Each structure stands twice: as structure tokens, then as C-alpha cells.
């Protein structure tokens, strides 16, 4: 009887382990996602690079050239320290040896070239909304940038966050990958702004409050949040509430994205790296982002951190 109970218990344990593994295993896209014969649009890839503000995280600390993506920036968080990787086209230390499918999977599914989970400090929750063609264009553009032969340090994360399979549980709770779909009730400008803000520009990643496990509080979208990176910075409420930017017009927002100077003639320090990218976007794209942000639902939040 004891042997039978042990056998049954062992079978159940294996079944549970297999079920858990299936639930939290990486789910890369199939090779069919990468249609043959595609000709990348490098100009569009550059727009995605700028909108995504890739340089802010992936150029080496203290570096001036925003096209040299050696990584190495240390992002201190409650979970430990994340170190941004080298994403230059260097074959050994960067992503020069990655296939196009591996890159698309990193962007849209949070899975690296080895088939392992990527930490959501890399904002693939937002990037998953991007069109596959845009991620392919971005990859092609990255390959035109200077390769940098420099290794980066590994992450230094606290237990259990240092276990990559644990990211699968995070994804199970918070990651819902899907491509952006245009709202036919809205204008083309609003839809373009929504796509850029929600996808490549990943605005909500900083401006939305998060729970203890780092999942976004969806009822607090864009209402402001303490920056997960250590240092005490606060990402302002950018909804059109009186606690946020309710007294800003859409042109005010577009002007800020271009100049980095808000309507009160301040230059917010926390947006410096973002403005370095948005200032390079076309006036049309900045106006589209502004139209989308200006039309967000108004949510109260942290008036002492009001932008202006």
C-alpha cells in the first residue's frame, strides 16, 4: 500500500511539474512569422529606434554617441540591479549573431536568442504591440550601426528574481502579447499616436504605478509612478487631470516633446533622455503622440509631482 501511495504521489508530482513548466515556459513565435522576401525599410527602422528611445538604456554610461549601443547601464530596482546588454551588431558581445526571428521574439515575446525568458525591465510588454514589419525594420537598422566589442556584466538580482523561469510566472500574471489594432472610431493621427505611445515609445512603462511584483496597475495608466530605478525620481501624471497635464493643450504636449521645455519654461530632468529621442521625431509623429496623450482618461494622482 505504501509503495502504491508513493507511486501515485510521484506520478502526481511529475504531472504537476509538467503542467507548471508548460504554463511558464517561453512561447516564441513560429518561423512563419518572418515571411520570406521581405525588404526592410531602414528609414522606418530608424523611426522605430528613435521612438523606442533605445539609446537611453543601451548606450554606455557617459557616452555621447547615441548610435554606439555597448550597454552596461546599471538599473537599480527593488528586485536587484539590471544591467543593460550590448545590442550593437557586434557578433560576439552584441546581437550581430542573432537571427531576425530571434530579435522579433525578443521584442514581441520577451524571449532571447537562447529561448530563455527576458526580464521585463526590457519593455517587451509594450513592444509586443508593434507590427512585426516594424520590428524587422528596426533590426535591419540596428545592423547598420557601429559594432562595439565590449562585454557587459550580468544582472545582480535578488532571489528568486535571479531565476529566469520565475519570469514565466510574471508573464502568466501580466503579459498579454498582441499587436496594436487601430480604432476605426478615432482619427488616423490619434491611431498613429496610440501606436507610438503604447508600442515603441512605451510611455506607460514609466508613467504607470506598479504592484509589488512589478506588474502595472491598469486602473492607474499614465497617472504617475515612482520610478522603479533607485534615485527617488517620479514619473509625472500625464493624464488630462488637474493633478497631471489637464491645463496643457495638445500643441503644448507636442512642443514639449520637440523642445524639452514645458509650458512653464521648465526643463524636467527626468525626461532628458526621452526628449533626446522625441526631439528627433517628425512634427507629425509628435503631434500624433500629443493627440493621443491629450485624449487619455483623466485620473487623479500625486499632485505634488505635477509637471507644471
Q: Tell whether the model's pLDDT for residue 65 goes beyond 80.
A: yes
User: Tens digits of per-residue pLDDT, 94-112?
Assistant: 999 999 999 999 999 999 9
Q: Tell whether the model's pLDDT for residue 260 goes beyond 50.
A: yes
Closest among 207, 203, 197 to 291, alpha carbons compared: 197
Look up residue 275 and give its three cell numbers: 526628449
User: Tens digits of per-residue pLDDT, 33-58?
Assistant: 888 889 999 999 999 999 999 999 99
Q: Given this model, what pLDDT does residue 16 score?
A: 44
Look up residue 300 and give its three cell numbers: 487623479
DSSP reduced 3-state for 7: helix
Rounded to the nearest integer, the mean pLDDT of the chain is 88
Residue 138 DSSP class: H
Residues in the chain: 308
User: Tens digits of per-residue pLDDT, 173-189?
Assistant: 999 999 999 999 999 99
Q: Is the peptide bond before 61 cis (omega within 30 degrees of 0)?
A: no
DSSP reduced 3-state for 83: strand
Percent of the chain at pLDDT > 90 equals: 66
- CA triplet 181, 139, 199: central angle to 5 degrees? 30
Q: What is the pTM of this model?
A: 0.89
**At what angle are helices 188-198 and 283-294 packed, to 10 degrees?**
90
Q: Given this model, what pLDDT does residue 78 score?
A: 87
Q: Is 211 left (phi over 0), alpha (psi -120 to 50) or beta?
A: beta
pLDDT band at 156 (very low <50, low <70, confident <90, very high): very high
Q: Given this model, what pLDDT does residue 37 score?
A: 85
Strand duo 225-226 + 74-77: pairing:
unpaired
- Domains of the chain in sequence order: 40-174 (1.10.760), 202-303 (no CATH)
Judge contact between 201 and 289, C-beta under 8 A.
Answer: yes
Amino acid at each position: 500500500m505504501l509503495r502504491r501511495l508513493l507511486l501515485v504521489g510521484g506520478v502526481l508530482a511529475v504531472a504537476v511539474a509538467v503542467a507548471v513548466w508548460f504554463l511558464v515556459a517561453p512561447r516564441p513565435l513560429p518561423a512563419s512569422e518572418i515571411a520570406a522576401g521581405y525588404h526592410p525599410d531602414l528609414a522606418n527602422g530608424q523611426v522605430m529606434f528613435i521612438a523606442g528611445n533605445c539609446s537611453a538604456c543601451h548606450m554606455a554610461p557617459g557616452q555621447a554617441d547615441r548610435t554606439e549601443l555597448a550597454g552596461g547601464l546599471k538599473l537599480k530596482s527593488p528586485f536587484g540591479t539590471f544591467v543593460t546588454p550590448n545590442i550593437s551588431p557586434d557578433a560576439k558581445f552584441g546581437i550581430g549573431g542573432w537571427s531576425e526571428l530571434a530579435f522579433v521574439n525578443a521584442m514581441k515575446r520577451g524571449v532571447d536568442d537562447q529561448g530563455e525568458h527576458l526580464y521585463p525591465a526590457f519593455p517587451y510588454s509594450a513592444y509586443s504591440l508593434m507590427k512585426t514589419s516594424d520590428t524587422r525594420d528596426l533590426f535591419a537598422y540596428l545592423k547598420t550601426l557601429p559594432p562595439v566589442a565590449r562585454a557587459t556584466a550580468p544582472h545582480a538580482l535578488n532571489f528568486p528574481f535571479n531565476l529566469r523561469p520565475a519570469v514565466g510566472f510574471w508573464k502568466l500574471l501580466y503579459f498579454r502579447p498582441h499587436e496594436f489594432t487601430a480604432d476605426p472610431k478615432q482619427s488616423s493621427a490619434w491611431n498613429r499616436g496610440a501606436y507610438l505611445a503604447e508600442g515603441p515609445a512605451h510611455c506607460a512603462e514609466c508613467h504607470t504605478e506598479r504592484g509589488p511584483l512589478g506588474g502595472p496597475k491598469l486602473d492607474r495608466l499614465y497617472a504617475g509612478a515612482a520610478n522603479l530605478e533607485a534615485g527617488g525620481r517620479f514619473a509625472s501624471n500625464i493624464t488630462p487631470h488637474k493633478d497631471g497635464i489637464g491645463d496643457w493643450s495638445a500643441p503644448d504636449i507636442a512642443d514639449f516633446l520637440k523642445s524639452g521645455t514645458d509650458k512653464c519654461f521648465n526643463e524636467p530632468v527626468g525626461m532628458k533622455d526621452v526628449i533626446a529621442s522625441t526631439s528627433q521625431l517628425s512634427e507629425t509623429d509628435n503631434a500624433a503622440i500629443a493627440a493621443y496623450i491629450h485624449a487619455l482618461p483623466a485620473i487623479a494622482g500625486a499632485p505634488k509631482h505635477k509637471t507644471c
